[in-house]
């Protein structure tokens, strides 16, 4: 279908916007109580509504034509409507975006002394599908929903007004954009940053590459989990597998670890980790190993290596329900292999960022792996994403990050 066949424009005024309606058997009460999504099988999708341009702003009504709120519609997505505002007449414009961004900024300024954090965490901050990470005077926007992609210039203007950032990057990477039918283009909307940005967290300095790194350049979500492990690290040896730019390793060194080894498949990521170690003053205690994580774990086992603390923070092994069983087997395998490298009485931390693998399934898979590796352990801590990644209580999918910390007892 061509754009010309779609109507109307995504930013239509409230008086002109179309109406979409729930089917009689759809659960309107869940929407009224705060659930933010409407799936394709819950909406009346006639020829008119199917022709709406992805990202169109519309009025949502229940089957009895009572207003539920203002939504953004993408007929091409399984999540066909996303709630923007429970006011069915509100204008979704620059001022509306400024209000949402100011509320998000207020929380982060309560949490952190320096402007390095996730500023917007999608639905939980009232901006469905929008992720914004801030790096001082720069920010990266991931517009993972069609409405945000259509309003990206307005969103960038509002972001600059609220925060004063001078460089804004639109990142088109990520699986979520593909599900919305969006392209993968990455482009500077304002200003430009050509060098990695140093970011201080938990006493360590990390180097964030906004354009060449993974996702937005740095994983702010692990900040509290880095801190927990770092608090156990004084006088200990550390192995950080799937290290990216040195997340757990650099935090541990900053709190007195005697040595840290970072393992990752990406040479550029490990180079940034090395730069971070040098900037943090810990280069002498920091080493890297580039290669497939499973192969490196096997090689270190053959070498007879042992560490006081081992962390495995892999990419999402179960990014979808279809991949869940294979993903759980991968989590079990990584726990089994990593457990063998932990010294007696040492610490194993395993993490999952998979939406599909809930905490119980992930914990069970990890425990099986530890047991199959011939080890015994006690679970001493369960961690989640930091407070700059708030959860929408009605949306379990927003609670993706899990961190399990085991102490090896045998």
Q: According to the model, what pLDDT value does residue 5 have?
A: 43
Q: How far apart are CA 222 and CA 216, in angstroms?
A: 14
- Summarised one tens digit per residue, pLDDT across range 12-38 is 567 789 999 999 999 999 999 999 999
Quickly state the pLDDT bin for 11 (edges 50, 70, 90): low
* Entry pTM: 0.93
Percent of the chain residues past pLDDT 70, beyond the cut: 95
Q: What is the pLDDT of residues 102-149, one digit of tens each?
A: 999 999 999 999 999 999 999 999 999 999 999 999 999 999 999 999
pLDDT surpassing 50 at residue 8: no
Whole-number Å distance between alpha carbons of 379 and 407: 6
Going by the DSSP 8-state scheme, the letter that residue 196 receives in this structure is P
Helices (H) and strands (E) in the chain, counts: 12, 19
Whether the per-residue pLDDT at 382 is higher than 50: the answer is yes
Q: What is the pLDDT of residue 273?
A: 97
Percent of the chain with pLDDT over 90: 87
Mean pLDDT of 239-245: 97
Calculate the average pLDDT of the chain. 94
Residue of 132 and 395 predicted with greater confidence: 132
- Please give the domain boundaries of the chain with CATH numbers for all domains: 3-85 (2.30.130.10), 94-190 (3.30.750.80), 197-408 (3.40.50.150)
Mean pLDDT of 352-363: 93
DSSP letters spanning 110-178? HH-SSSEEEEEEGGGGT-TTEEEEEETTEEEEEE-SHHHHHTHHHHHHHHHHHH--SEEEE---SHHHH
The model's pLDDT over 27-85, given as tens digits with 9 standing for 90+, comes to 999 999 999 999 999 999 999 999 999 999 999 999 999 999 999 999 998 999 999 99
DSSP secondary structure, 31-65, as one string: HHTT--EEEGGGB---HHHHTSPTTEEEEEE-TT-
What pLDDT score was predicted for residue 3?
A: 42
Interval 263-295: pLDDT, tens: 999 999 999 999 999 999 999 999 999 999 999
Segment 222-246 mean pLDDT: 98
Task: Return the pLDDT at 2.
Answer: 39
As a whole number, mean pLDDT of residues 218-236 equals 97
How far CA 269 is from CA of 204, 212, 247, in Å, comes to: 16, 9, 11
* Rounded mean pLDDT, 323-336: 96
Residues 6+ apart with CB under 8 A from 194: none
pLDDT at 254: 98
């Amino acid at each position: 279908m061509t754009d010309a066949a779609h109507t109307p424009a995504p930013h239509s005024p409230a008086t002109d916007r179309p109406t979409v309606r729930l089917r009689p058997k759809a659960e309107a009460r869940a929407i009224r109580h705060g659930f933010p999504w409407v799936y394709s099988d819950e909406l009346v999708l006639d020829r008119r509504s199917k022709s709406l341009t992805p990202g169109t702003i519309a009025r949502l009504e229940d089957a009895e034509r009572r207003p539920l709120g203002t939504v953004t519609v993408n007929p091409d997505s399984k999540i066909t409507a996303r709630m923007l505002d429970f006011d069915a007449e509100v204008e979704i414009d620059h001022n509306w975006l400024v209000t949402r961004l100011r509320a998000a900024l207020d929380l982060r300024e309560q949490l952190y002394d320096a402007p390095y954090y996730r500023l917007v965490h999608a639905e939980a901050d009232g901006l469905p599908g929008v992720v914004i990470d801030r790096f001082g005077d720069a920010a990266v926007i991931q517009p993972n929903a069609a409405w945000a992609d259509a309003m990206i210039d307005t969103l960038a203007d509002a972001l600059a007004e609220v925060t004063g950032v001078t460089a804004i990057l639109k990142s088109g990477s990520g699986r979520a954009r593909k599900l919305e039918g969006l392209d993968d283009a990455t482009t500077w909307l304002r200003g430009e940053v050509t060098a990695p940005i140093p970011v201080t967290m938990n006493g360590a300095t990390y180097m964030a590459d906004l354009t060449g790194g993974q996702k937005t350049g740095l994983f702010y979500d692990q900040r509290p989990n880095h801190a927990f492990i770092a608090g156990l690290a004084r006088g200990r040896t550390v192995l950080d597998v799937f290290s990216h730019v040195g997340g757990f390793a650099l935090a541990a060194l900053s709190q007195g670890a005697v040595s840290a080894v970072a393992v990752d498949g990406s040479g550029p990521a490990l180079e940034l980790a090395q730069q971070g170690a040098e900037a943090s003053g810990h280069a002498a205690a920091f080493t890297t190993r580039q290669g497939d994580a499973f192969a490196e774990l096997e090689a270190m086992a053959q070498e007879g290596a042992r560490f006081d603390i081992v962390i495995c923070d892999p990419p999402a092994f179960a990014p979808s329900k279809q991949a869940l069983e294979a993903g759980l087997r991968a989590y079990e395998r990584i726990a089994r292999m990593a457990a063998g490298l932990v010294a007696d009485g040492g610490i194993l931390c395993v993490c999952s960022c998979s939406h599909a693998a809930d905490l119980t399934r992930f914990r069970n898979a990890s425990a099986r792996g530890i047991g199959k590796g011939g080890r015994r352990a006690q679970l001493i801590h369960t961690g989640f994403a930091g407070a700059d990644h708030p959860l929408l209580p009605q949306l379990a999918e927003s609670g993706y990050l899990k961190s399990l910390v085991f102490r090896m007892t045998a």
